């Protein structure tokens, strides 16, 4: 199935699924955010990095173990 | 005593230590300065003269004895809960001894006021706050940067010589760049974090100093770190730069000033410039946002989102509700990318000592419409800024923004990033850059009321 970034489908359905109410101004903000975030989210999901070894519970104060 | 207030942070500390000025005199001068200049800046959202006087009277003989400091509205104080710049911060908030408060108190500093911040810490601009926006002293119609907007505006406006901010995705470095200051984002976990409302869940937020120059950041940073950040010599510095489409998408004046500063730094340290590649950089921006977003959702329920304070801005309300819709799979992928980016960076830091690029790709935009013009077109300041700020928060490395130029009277900042734990060396590099340009940019003053 082709990926969709159509805010008209996703946003009302998503909010309704959680029982979250939003007024028209909030919906406009959410649509703008969705337009900005969704295309790179799809690109991120498509990144071929699953083979890279994970770093469980990384210690961010230090370099990763070699 | 206003003359003492115009000294550097270390100059004020030395003047108190030498008995040339008392903590009380310095505090009263700071309160008068705030009363006079802050109406134009809205940098300081609350003062508490009696509490401050108690701190001044009881100040121990520490490295900041008697020095007035502003602290961001992100850190609780024993007499005041943080508001996070918002009418509703969706997390329990109560007065208390945050880590930065304890560090300042034990160093003898005097907290003179609370600094404004962007609502919920959610932007690089500082143009929205429950208190009204803080303003940029260089041009009060321009954004001061966010989310540590008030701390930056307060230091740039010379209300105080040092302020404590917080940096979850660039929130110390963006306002440092917009206001012409030096701002340090420490290595994750090195600076005081206790008492932050997300201290138990965050993997991106750190406390850090905003000051006029690197030596003052070293002093205030040492207090926040709880250990002395010793000065050294940045010699033979290997400076990494990235030449790709995104990194080059920078306003011409910013690009020119940063290129010139990189060459100054190379020459001053007898170092070299090396081209490097960070293939994960483009995706790192979104990954950081998604990880920080996921961490901020702890405790938020749909029912709570239906009861948001109506005084929260429409943008704040909408973004909070949108956060719930972001897919967990993308957040999981973001953690994979974080692991990859950390490994890549570890290899890069075998080859270079610092990575340099503009802190923000354009100077401070108007408060009314925070848009910036880049070679690729017009975009929101947030979209543009996060590209340069996110990597350090994603991976944990330290970063510093240093003033290196101006365009139409608005400051330009260069960001230097280093390997984990090399915060001291970053400040050495920042000081080398100051020497190279004759301290021209750290000593530049915005138009200030006398």
Does residue B324 sit at the A interface (CB-CB below 8 Å)?
A: yes
Rounded to 10 deg, the angle between the B23-41 and B149-156 helix axes is: 110
User: Scanning every residue of chain A, which has its alpha carbon at the shortest distance from the alpha carbon of B186?
Assistant: A61
Whether A4 has a pLDDT exceeding 60, the answer reads no
C-alpha distances in Å from residue A47, one per residue of A41, A44, B4, B166, B244: 10, 5, 56, 31, 19
**CB distance B322–A21 less than 8 Å?**
no
Show residues of chain A in contact with B283, CB under 8 Å: 40, 43-44, 47
Percent of chain B with pLDDT over 90: 96
C-alpha distances in Å from residue B325, one per residue of A8, B254, B291: 14, 36, 14
Show residues of chain A in contact with B302, CB under 8 Å: 18-20
- Please give the average per-residue pLDDT across B43-67, as a whole number: 98
Whether B22 has a pLDDT exceeding 50, the answer reads yes
Q: Among partner residues B190, B330, B421, which is closest to A45 by beta-carbon distance?
A: B330
- The CA dihedral of B298, B302, B308, B314, to the nearest 10 degrees, is 100
**CB distance A55–B342 less than 8 Å?**
yes
Whether B407 has a pLDDT exceeding 60, the answer reads yes
Beta-carbon contacts of residue B386 (< 8 Å; ≥ 6 apart):
B124, B169, B170, B285, B288, B289
Whether B130 has a pLDDT exceeding 80, the answer reads yes
Residues 263-322 of B with CB under 8 A from A: 283, 286-287, 289-290, 302-303, 305-306, 314-315, 317-319, 321-322
Point out the least confidently predicted range of A50-64, B94-108, B122-136: A50-64
Tokens of B198: 């997300």
Show residues of chain B in contact with A21, CB under 8 Å: 306
What mean pLDDT is reported for chain B? 97
B185 is catalytic: no
Chain A nearest CA to B333, separation (Å): 7
ipTM above 0.90, yes or no: yes
Q: Please state, in angstroms and rounded to a whole number, the distance separating the CA atoms of residues B158 and B378.
A: 33
- Please give the average per-residue pLDDT across A40-44, as a whole number: 95
Of B101, B95, B84, B110, nearest to B22 (Cα)? B110
Q: Please state, in angstroms and rounded to a whole number, the distance separating the CA atoms of residues A36 and A33.
A: 5
**Which residue would you say has higher pLDDT here, B282 or B83?**
B83
Q: Among partner residues A20, A60, A63, which is closest to B189 by beta-carbon distance?
A: A60
Q: What pLDDT shows up at residue B311?
A: 96
**CB distance A54–B335 less than 8 Å?**
yes
**Bridging pattern class, strands B399-407 and B410-418:** antiparallel
Element spanning A14, H or E: helix A7-18
Residues 10-69 of B with CB under 8 A from A: none
pLDDT grade for B246, boundaries at 50, 70 and 90: confident
Of A14, A47, A9, A31, nearest to B335 (Cα)? A47
Chain B nearest CA to A7, separation (Å): 11
A-B C-beta contacts closer than 8 Å: 122
Does residue B422 sit at the A interface (CB-CB below 8 Å)?
A: no
B72 is catalytic: yes
Whether B449 has a pLDDT exceeding 80, the answer reads no
Asked whether B145 and B133 are in contact (CB, 8 A), the reply is: no
Whether B283 has a pLDDT exceeding 80, the answer reads yes
What is the CB neighbour count within 10 angstroms for residue B49?
Answer: 12
What value, to the nearest 5°, has the Cα angle with vertex B386 and ends B380 and B390? 170
Q: Among partner residues B321, B335, B349, which is closest to A30 by beta-carbon distance?
A: B321
- Please give the average per-residue pLDDT across B311-319, as a whole number: 96
Q: What pLDDT shows up at residue A1?
A: 45
The catalytic residue among B8, B72, B98, B207 is B72
Q: What pLDDT shows up at residue A52?
A: 84
Q: What pLDDT shows up at residue B448?
A: 83
Whether B95 has a pLDDT exceeding 70, the answer reads yes
Q: Mind listing the pLDDT tens digit for each residue in B197-233? A: 999 999 999 999 999 999 999 999 999 999 999 999 9
Rounded to 10 deg, the angle between the A24-46 and B281-296 helix axes is: 130
Whether A3 has a pLDDT exceeding 70, the answer reads no
Q: How far apart are the first and last CA of chain B?
A: 13
B235 is catalytic: no
What pTM was computed for the model?
Answer: 0.97
Question: What residues of chain A have any CB closer than 8 angstroms to a CB in chain B?
Answer: 10-11, 14-15, 18-22, 25-30, 33-34, 36-37, 40-41, 43-45, 47, 49-50, 52-55, 58-64, 66
**Which residue would you say has higher pLDDT here, B299 or B383?**
B383
Q: What pLDDT shows up at residue A6?
A: 67
Q: Please state, in angstroms and rounded to a whole number, the distance separating the CA atoms of residues A51 and A53.
A: 6
């Amino acid at each position: 199935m082709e990926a969709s970034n159509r805010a008209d489908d996703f946003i009302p359905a998503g909010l309704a699924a959680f029982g979250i109410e939003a007024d028209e101004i909030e919906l406009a903000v959410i649509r703008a955010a969705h337009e900005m975030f969704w295309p790179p989210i799809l690109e991120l999901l498509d990144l071929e990095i699953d083979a890279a070894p994970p770093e469980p519970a990384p210690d961010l104060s230090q370099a990763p173990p070699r | 005593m206003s003359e003492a207030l115009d000294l550097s942070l270390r100059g004020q500390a030395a003047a108190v230590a030498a008995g040339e000025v008392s903590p009380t005199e310095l505090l009263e001068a700071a309160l008068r300065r705030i009363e006079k200049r802050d109406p134009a800046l809205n940098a300081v959202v609350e003062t508490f003269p009696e509490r401050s006087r108690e701190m001044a009277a009881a100040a121990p003989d520490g490295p900041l004895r008697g020095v007035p400091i502003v602290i961001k509205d992100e850190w609780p104080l024993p007499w005041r809960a943080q508001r996070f710049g918002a009418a509703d911060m969706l997390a329990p908030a109560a007065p208390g001894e945050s880590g930065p408060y304890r560090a300042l108190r034990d160093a003898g500093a005097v907290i003179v006021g609370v600094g404004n911040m962007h609502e919920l810490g959610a932007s690089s601009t500082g143009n929205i706050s429950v208190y009204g926006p803080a303003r940029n002293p260089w041009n009060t119609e321009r954004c001061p940067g966010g989310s540590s907007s008030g701390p930056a505006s307060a230091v740039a406006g010379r209300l105080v010589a040092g302020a404590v901010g917080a940096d979850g995705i660039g929130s110390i470095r963006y306002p440092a760049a917009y206001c012409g200051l030096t701002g340090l984002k420490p290595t994750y976990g090195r600076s005081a974090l206790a008492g932050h409302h997300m201290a138990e869940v965050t993997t991106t937020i750190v406390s850090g100093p905003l000051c006029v120059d690197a030596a003052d950041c070293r002093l205030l940073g040492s207090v926040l770190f709880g250990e002395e950040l010793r000065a050294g010599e940045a010699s033979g510095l290997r400076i990494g730069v990235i030449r790709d489409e995104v990194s080059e998408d920078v306003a011409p004046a910013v690009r020119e000033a940063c290129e010139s500063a990189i060459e100054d730094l190379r020459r001053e340290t007898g170092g070299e410039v090396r081209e490097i590649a960070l293939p994960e950089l483009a995706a790192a921006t979104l990954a950081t946002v998604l990880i920080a977003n996921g961490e901020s959702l702890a405790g938020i329920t749909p029912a709570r989102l239906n009861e948001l304070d109506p005084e929260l801005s429409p943008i704040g309300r909408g973004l909070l509700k949108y956060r719930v819709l972001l897919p967990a799979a993308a957040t999981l992928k973001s953690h994979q990318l974080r692991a990859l980016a950390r490994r890549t960076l570890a290899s890069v830091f075998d080859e270079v000592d610092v990575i340099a690029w503009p802190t923000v790709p354009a100077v401070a935009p108007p408060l009314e419409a925070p848009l910036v013009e880049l070679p690729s077109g017009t975009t929101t300041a947030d979209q543009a800024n996060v590209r340069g700020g996110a990597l350090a928060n994603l991976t944990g490395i330290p970063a510093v923004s240093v003033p290196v130029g101006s365009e139409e009277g608005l400051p330009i900042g260069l960001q230097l990033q280093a390997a984990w734990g090399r915060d001291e060396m970053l400040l050495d590099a920042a000081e080398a850059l100051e020497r190279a340009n004759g301290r021209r940019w750290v000593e530049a003053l915005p138009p200030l009321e006398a």
